Amino acid sequence: MIRQYLKFRKTITIVCVLSLLFLIFLILTKNQNSNSSELIRHHKRLDDDFQDIGYRELDDIPKKEIYVLGEKELKMELSNTIEDSTKRELREVKAKVEQLEKKIAFLEGRIPQKYPEVQYLGYKERKRILVTGGAGFVGSHLVDVLMIQGHEVIVVDNFFTGRKRNIEHWFGHRNFELIHHDIVNPLFVEADEIYHLASPASPPHYMQNPVKTIKTNTLGTINMLGLARRVGAKILIASTSEVYGDPMVHPQPESYWGHVNPIGPRACYDEGKRVSETLAYSYAKQEKVSVRVARIFNTYGPRMHVSDGRVVSNFIMQALQNLTITVYGNGKQTRSFCYVSDLVDGLLALMASSYSLPVNIGNPVEHTIEEFAVIIKNLVPGCRSTVATGAAVEDDPQRRRPDITLAKNQLHWSPKVSLQDGLQRTIDYFKEELSRTTFYNNQTYIDFKVKTSH
């Protein structure tokens, strides 16, 4: 009985499913027929409209002209499409070219440049020389000469005012080494000679952090003198004409003790250098360290910082941009300007000599600041700048001129580059700086003409 019931139930279910499928088929067929008939009616209506309107309007136009008009419209559409496509492709190509130019510039910046020619020295003549502040203005020029002479050079710099670009042309050379280090902290290296040039030298830079300036010239000098004592190296301390302050003796000989304001805005540098000289001779007396002290007067030349606030850079930058050349004070203050290659020659001569007392290194040719502004204006072609006076700077020395008698007698040194020639080379450098738009220009500014003329 149960078996018959289940069999009957199964039969009923199959019949229902088949009926449902048949019903769905009928519905779909009806919809398709209605859609087809509607589509046919729509096409017929469009044909009627076209015959009633289109043909009547075109009855008077020959078939050949219809084809010509259609062909012209087609050509115009194709022309517009091609033009738009061409413009789009040109824009895309231009963007790709710009990207390629940037990539090429980046790759060119990474290609090692050919090193300047370096003399070969045997192991007996070749020295291992440490230059603190070697990436700075004066230090980098000194490094160039030492490298060209064939010595092994170690540059130590914290890049406060120094720049890698000043020495990048030596990167990778077997005789060159760069250490990123602040000499306020001890340094342990081997060296035969030490040129201690590390210190900000322009007023805006050393006034920016006066405590740091004092530390560099005291703790930094102690560290370098201690290094010289440990390894038995000869050390040259780069002092400054600022130790004379606003001098009451003119010109300034090495025997003059100076006239310095110990609490003025320039004292961090002036007194820091005076202490560094005291430290040098204390180590010489107590520890038997071989010391040399160079009192450097105003120096100029390529690789000066464009915004260091000193007279040469300020006047040249203002003249090149046709800005007002600003003279602080009455313009009657005097300065003596020494070209950087002459200064480097003086430092090398002092290090090689047996004279151990302070020596003035500078150019004795004296000019007023007002005269100097006019000289620079005349050297810049097409300069339309005017010279104006501004407020005087506190503790600004009124007269500055070195007595270089000692340098002549003891070192057989005197400056050779004229102010006109030196300023022209410096102006050319600042023009290059103003026109610089890329980072890969490896202009080294090693003045071989100046070096060979000495």
Looking up tokens 């070209």, which residue turns up? 339
H/E segment holding residue 103: helix 63-110
Instruction: Give the up-direction half-sphere exposure of residue 284: CA atoms within 13 A in the CB hemisphere.
Output: 18
Q: Can you tell me the distance from the alpha carbon of 64 to that of 68, in angstroms, rounded to the nearest whole number?
A: 6
Model confidence at 444: pLDDT above 70: no
In a domain, 25, yes or no: no
In a domain, 305, yes or no: yes
The per-residue pLDDT for 39 is 47
In a domain, 14, yes or no: no
Answer yes or no: 283 catalytic. no
In a domain, 114, yes or no: no
In a domain, 311, yes or no: yes
pTM: 0.74
pLDDT band at 55 (very low <50, low <70, confident <90, very high): very low
Q: Can you tell me the distance from the alpha carbon of 59 to that of 56, in angstroms, rounded to the nearest whole number?
A: 5
Range with lowest mean pLDDT among 38-52, 72-86, 250-264, 428-442: 38-52
Range with lowest mean pLDDT among 167-181, 254-268, 314-328, 430-444: 430-444
- Reported residue count of the chain is 454
Give 257-282 pLDDT, tens digit per residue.
999 999 988 899 999 999 999 999 99
pLDDT band at 54 (very low <50, low <70, confident <90, very high): very low
Model confidence at 290: pLDDT above 70: yes
Q: What CATH number corresponds to the domain at position 343?
A: 3.40.50.720
First to last CA, the chain: 132
In a domain, 132, yes or no: yes
Model confidence at 161: pLDDT above 80: yes
The total number of structural domains in the chain stands at 1
- 301 close to 295: Cβ distance less than 8 angstroms: no
The per-residue pLDDT for 450 is 42
In a domain, 356, yes or no: yes
The per-residue pLDDT for 451 is 44
| Among 320, 287, 414, CA closest to 312 | 320
Cα–chain center distance at 31:
79
Give the range of the structural domain holding residue 253, as residue numbers without chain letter.
124-453
Exactly one of 195, 206, 269, 300 is catalytic; name it: 269
In a domain, 408, yes or no: yes
Compare 450 and 145 and report the one with higher pLDDT. Answer: 145
Give the Å distances, CA to CA, from 95 to 100, 102, 104, 105, 269: 9, 11, 14, 16, 52
Q: Can you tell me the distance from the alpha carbon of 432 to that of 434, in angstroms, rounded to the nearest whole number?
A: 5
pLDDT band at 449 (very low <50, low <70, confident <90, very high): very low
Burial class (CB in 10 A: 0-12, 13-18, 19+), 166: buried
